[in-house]
Amino acid sequence: MSAAPHASPPAARPARPRRTQEQRSAETQAKVMDAAIECLLEVGYGETTTQMVAKRAGVTRGALLHHYPSREDLVAGAVRYLAVKRTEEALRTFARLTQGESLIPDALDLLWALYQGPLFTAAIELLVASRTDPALARQVEAVEEVVVSSIKAAGSAMALSGISAESFNELVVTAMDAITGLLIRCYPARDSDRPERAWARLRTHLLVLAHAQVGRAAHAG
């Protein structure tokens, strides 16, 4: 009797392409930045250290210091990283808006929801800390201009026919500034319903402002 044919060996899986040094470096930096944001949220700016961030990121302190040689460099990196992430999140938020009578109320509600997220909470933490840290203040001011400009550019495409892009952007920026101030003012009572009650009042005033702008535009036309 003839011998059974030998089974063919399983096909070898293709080897995963090895990551480049640039890819590994980018991955490490992203881990460090995410960890820095988590530390800012949990313990605040004053208590965040390079050692704490390295431990949270799961990297050695030496690896962290290779990319961010000092705490100041780490914070500067976090400011820039937050700016990019906040802009991306804001643009995704604006992309969900649709034209119509509810555009302005919807935009305000989405902005409010956006500012409840960890990225914007961490940004407010740095904003408050910058009051007594001139170097941090310069970094925050520089990136805030970029964030606001990007959001205004996205908002221009969403302007109603009854309100100019400039007026719509002014409303959005006014809302952003007002929400920031509201959250700072209500921070001691952040776990109560006080922020939501304050937002309900502020939202009403912002809608009155928006309707007044639409009315002026109609009168001018």
- pLDDT tens per residue, range 87-143: 888 888 878 877 777 778 888 998 899 888 898 899 999 999 999 999 999 999 988
Q: Scanning the structure block, which residue is given the tokens 């949270």?
A: 56
Please give the pLDDT value at position 8: 60
* Whole-angstrom distance, CA of residue 71 vs CA of residue 182: 30
| Span of 21-30, 62-71, 92-101 with lowest mean pLDDT | 92-101
- pLDDT tens per residue, range 140-189: 998 888 888 887 777 666 655 566 777 778 888 899 999 999 999 988 87
Mean pLDDT taken over the chain: 84
* Whole-angstrom distance, CA of residue 221 vs CA of residue 201: 31
* Angle between the N-to-C axes of helices 118-129 and 165-186, in degrees from 0 to 180, rounded to the nearest 10: 70
- Is the pTM higher than 0.75? The answer reads yes
Q: What is 21-69's CATH number?
A: 1.10.10.60
29 vs 24, 25, 67, 84, 93, CA distance in Å?
9, 6, 7, 14, 26
Q: Scanning the structure block, which residue is given the tokens 């009315």?
A: 215
Q: Which among 150, 141, 149, 111 has a CA at the least distance from the CA of 123?
A: 141
Q: Which among 34, 32, 37 has a CA at the least distance from the CA of 51?
A: 32
- pLDDT tens per residue, range 149-158: 887 777 666 6
Give the domain ranges of the chain: 21-69, 80-220
The answer, yes or no, to whether residue 5 has pLDDT greater than 60, is no
* Whole-angstrom distance, CA of residue 1 vs CA of residue 6: 15
